[in-house]
Amino acid sequence: MARPKVEVPRTGEERDLIIQEFTEAWNHYRHIESARAKHLGIFFAVFAASLGICATLLKTQGLDNPLMISTALFILLLVSILSLWSRT
CB 44 within 8 A of CB 84: no
pLDDT at residue number 71: 80
Q: How far is the C-alpha of 18 from the C-alpha of 56, rounded, in Å? A: 57
pLDDT at residue number 31: 94
DSSP 53-73: HHHHHHHHH-TT-HHHHHHHH
**Considering the chain, what is the average pLDDT of its residues?**
82
**pTM: predicted TM-score of the whole model, two decimal places:** 0.57
* pLDDT over threshold 60, residue 88: no
**How many Cα neighbours within 13 Å face the side chain of 58?**
15
Instruction: Give the model confidence (pLDDT) of 14-37 as tens digits.
Output: 888 888 999 999 999 999 999 888
pLDDT at residue number 87: 60
